[in-house]
Structure 1
Amino acid sequence: MRFNWNYDFVKLSKYFYTFSIVVTIAGIISLAVFGLNYSVDFRSGSNVDITLTKPLTEQQVKPVIDKLDFGDAADISNGSAERMSIRFENVLTDTQENQLKQTFTKELDSGASFEVNTVDPTIAKELERNAIYAVLLASLGIIIYVTIRFEWRFAVASVVALLHDAFLVISIFSIFRLEVDLTFITAVLTIIGYSLNDTIVIFDRIRENMRFAKQKNRGDVATIVNKSISQTMTRSLNTVLTVFIACLFLFILGSESIRMFSLAMMIGLAFGAYSSIFIASPLWLVLKNKQKPKAKTPSKTTA
């Protein structure tokens, strides 16, 4: 089904700019004060995943873990009725691992099975650094490609939009203290890909419409932008909704290991759905309007 999207998207963009600025400022404050809630993938320590044979609550488990006195705080969380996770800030020794397993099976659940994942400080810092490099290198590659394929104004607008999407997802995870693991990085890079894809589709239509339109003033260019967005709106929403529904069911029915990935994807798709329309395209228009008009070459006069 096709709809008639005759709206002044350029005019509406100021409200979305305001919303994005507010969330960005809140994210910067949250990151400065609290940082991100890193999982054991990015933070040194040991994470013990326990498969239970009977339901246990955090209140039942905490006194038993505290008795072990491993010298650091233990963060206990229930993934489901059958699974529990205990995260230690320090790396557990083999003796401590065995003590934990023996105590847990003796006092809480004799049939429990354990999986211990350990990350030392060097690996944790290297993973964090490589994740930042991945985003920066992806952005650089996109700038080069879009500049060659289109022009530098399109490149700047598309990279601002994708960095906007990535940072807003990071901000939401920081504000609500959601756990950041390796699947989160995968989700952010995937979101960048979807955001760029939608943006390029709109930019390609703008470029095509610019070739055949008579541009007399800035209002004419804004009209072209609105027309281009209207022509691609149905396609963009259908793409986003298809992926969003899939991620929603993965979040509801999927395993605990991909839950944060699915949540990050849904948040990123929601931000990406409007950034291509209300952030990237209006930003390109601003850059285009700052372009100096080409000097007219004097016509030759015949004697």
Structure 2
Amino acid sequence: MNWLKYRFLYFFISLAVLLPGIYSLWSFGLNPSVEFTGGSLLEISLESPSPDQIKDLLSPTYSIHSLDHDSSTITLKLDPLTQSQADQIVSDLKTLDSQAKLISFTSVGPSVGGQLFTKALTAILIAALATLLYIAYSFRNLTFGFFAIIAMLHDTLILLGSYSLLGHFFGFQTDLLIVTAILTTLSFSVHDTIVVFDRIRELKNKTTSSLYALSNRAITETITRSLNNSLTIIFMLLSLALLGGDSIKHFTIALLIGAITGTYSSTFTAVPLLVTWDTIRRK
């Protein structure tokens, strides 16, 4: 099948998904958690009071950055607090609901938050560089490594853009688990990309056909395997996103986005870019 006949359609689909996310990142940015900004995060079991009642009670004493409320819990993001201050907040809330109880309390100083952000960014850059060097060495061709990195960048931008939109409209926070999801997305992306690139290399050693023809054949021979492998992961993540607990839902959604984009980019971004570059280079 002539998959690459539609490569510009694949590029258009990528741009259609990338551009809203890039615009959101530029306009709204991400919604970082206290792990990056510094501050305290309190999750409190509380049923009856409304968010407005809680804000009216606590705002005169504490600086509230955000308040999320569902049927039985509230999540407060505030300036850094001590354990005694967190206990005092729970005591104050008991005037509204006698059954109020602290579920979890996390406090991170601003300097620690900055260090975590730097380390997270460093981890992503190291992973990308190591991937580039490994593929370039394995395939004895820097071009293969370069386009594998482009596909990884494509997937990372889609995930970050999606989380920017989700953070702006639905309050999703970017925390260390999302960094884990980004690194996992890189592995999704590069795994399938290497499978296709390796098949291209094998075919190249057996025939003198053009890279265009070899790439079409390589995609045809590997796409079923890639889809079967990826759909197994996607269905599992979809089940967790729909049925799993709130504590892992956002992380699971990030992994789900990464698994879908990684599956798409390995076949319909990395290979078309490689073939397009080869076509331009030969002119």
Question: TM-score with structure 1 length normalisation?
Answer: 0.85
Cα offset for 1:109? Answer: 3.8
Query: Which residue is equivalent to 1:145?
Result: 134
Correspondent of 1:282 among 268, 272, 275: 272
Correspondent of 1:127 among 109, 116, 120: 116
Runs of 4+ aligned residues of structure 1 deviating over 6 Å after TM superposition are none
For the residue of structure 2 that corresponds to 1:179, the secondary structure is coil
CA distance in 1, matches of 2:84, 2:184: 41
**Is contact 2:35-2:108 (8 Å) kept?**
yes
Cα offset for 1:13? Answer: 2.1
Q: CA RMSD in A?
A: 2.0
Aligned ranges 1:80-159 → 2 under 5 Å: 81-88=71-78, 90-94=79-83, 96-150=85-139, 151-159=141-149
**Is contact 1:30-1:175 (8 Å) kept?**
yes
Cα offset for 1:104? Answer: 1.2
Cα offset for 1:19? Answer: 2.6
Alignment CA distance shift 1:84-1:71 (3 Å): closer
Query: Which residue is equivalent to 1:240?
Result: 230
Q: Which has the larger radius of gyration?
A: 1
Query: Which residue is equivalent to 2:196?
Result: 202
CA distance in 2, matches of 1:97, 1:46: 9
Cα offset for 1:165? Answer: 0.5
Cα offset for 1:75? Answer: 1.7
Of the structure 1 ranges 231-240 and 28-37, higher mean CA displacement relative to structure 2 is found in 28-37
Structure 1 stretches lacking a partner, 5+ long: 1-5, 294-303
Query: Which residue is equivalent to 2:63?
Result: 72
Query: Which residue is equivalent to 1:268?
Result: 258
Residue 192 (1) aligns with residue 211 (2): no
Tell me the amino acid that sits aligned with residue 91 of structure 2: Q
Residue 40 (1) aligns with residue 34 (2): yes
CA distance in 2, matches of 1:278, 1:37: 30
Correspondent of 2:219 among 219, 223, 229: 229
Tell me the amino acid that sits aligned with residue 102 of structure 2: S
Query: Which residue is equivalent to 2:165?
Result: 175
Query: Which residue is equivalent to 2:11?
Result: 17
Of the structure 1 ranges 26-35 and 104-113, higher mean CA displacement relative to structure 2 is found in 104-113
Alignment CA distance shift 1:287-1:113 (3 Å): same
Tell me the amino acid that sits aligned with residue 118 of structure 1: S
Report Cα offsets for 1:112-171 as digits up to 9, x if no partner.
Answer: 234221111111111111111111100100111001100111101111101110111000
**Is contact 2:189-2:266 (8 Å) kept?**
yes
For the residue of structure 1 that corresponds to 2:42, the secondary structure is strand
**Is contact 1:153-1:288 (8 Å) kept?**
no
Residue 30 (1) aligns with residue 30 (2): no
CA distance in 1, matches of 2:26, 2:280: 34
For the residue of structure 1 that corresponds to 2:148, the secondary structure is helix
Structure 2 stretches lacking a partner, 5+ long: none
For the residue of structure 2 that corresponds to 1:37, the secondary structure is coil
Question: TM-score with structure 2 length normalisation?
Answer: 0.90
CA distance in 2, matches of 1:163, 1:117: 32
